[in-house]
Amino acid sequence: MPYCVGVQEAGDRLRSARHVLVVGCSGAGKSTLSAALAQRLDLPHLSMDREFCWLPGWVAQPRDEMRALIAAAVAQDRWIMDGSFPSSLDLRLPRLTCLAGVIRRGVAHRGRTRPDMAPGCPERRPDREFLSDVWNFERDTAPAIARNLEAHGPRVPTLVIRSRDEAGRLLALIADRAPP
């Protein structure tokens, strides 16, 4: 089990953090939270989808090239990165919340490329396989993320956000105590 902290401690630690990783299911709000945290904390925001994983036309970046791009990015002094790829490192946002997020995102951006997505990858209707991945995220993907956190950063503070309200409380806490 990762070293878990509460919202208050996470807020305190985030103000001086140089590296922040936001992981979770598609539709959970990773990119929205990461962008808001990046702005409040003055950290460069790296979206795994936009920066590393996708080429125009929904072509997957070759794995070795993706890993090289990620390695170069994490070597930088400061960043916040979002993505749900356990192989490169919310674990429990409710399924219906995530599915609703995917649907809302699809309607809001249909036919257009989202700001957190690679150029040339317009939003499209989620297919059965993608919806199945979202539905089964906690069973299939979250355990791998937890194992990777334990193996690669057993003493790295981890905040598990279980609702959009909790994410909002974290953002409010950081905003209330932003450095002068």
Please report which confidence band the pLDDT of residue 176 belongs to, taking 50, 70 and 90 as the band edges.
low
Is residue 47 predicted with pLDDT exceeding 90? yes
Give the pLDDT score at 148: 83
Binned at pLDDT 50, 70 and 90, residue 180 comes out as very low
DSSP 78-107: SEEEE---GGG--TT--HHHHHHHHHHHHH
Q: What pLDDT digit, counting tens, does each position of 103-153 carry?
A: 999 999 999 999 999 999 999 999 999 999 989 988 898 888 888 888 877
Higher pLDDT, residue 89 or 13: 13
SS3 (DSSP) at 138? helix
Q: Which helix (H) or strand (E) holds 47?
A: strand 45-47
Instruction: Please determine, for residue 60, whether its predicted confidence score (pLDDT) is greater than 80.
Output: yes
pLDDT band of 33, cuts 50, 70, 90: very high
CA 132 to chain CA centroid, nearest Å: 19
Q: Which pLDDT belongs to residue 91?
A: 46
Query: Which residue is it, tokens 């959970």?
Result: 28
Structure tokens belonging to residue 172: 């409010």
Check pLDDT > 60 for residue 89. no
Q: Report how far residue 19's alpha carbon sits from residue 98's, in angstroms, rounded to the nearest whole number.
A: 25
34, 171 contact by CB (below 8 A)? no
Question: CB neighbours of 34 closer than 8 A, spacing ≥ 6?
Answer: 20, 22, 45, 47, 80, 81, 82
pLDDT of residue 175: 82
Average pLDDT over residues 99-106: 90
Among 58-72, 79-93, 134-148, the range with the most confident prediction by mean pLDDT is 58-72
- What is the per-residue pLDDT across 70-79, written as a single tens digit (0 to 9) for each? 999 989 999 9
Q: Is the pLDDT of residue 31 over 60?
A: yes
Work out the mean pLDDT of the chain and round it to a whole number: 87
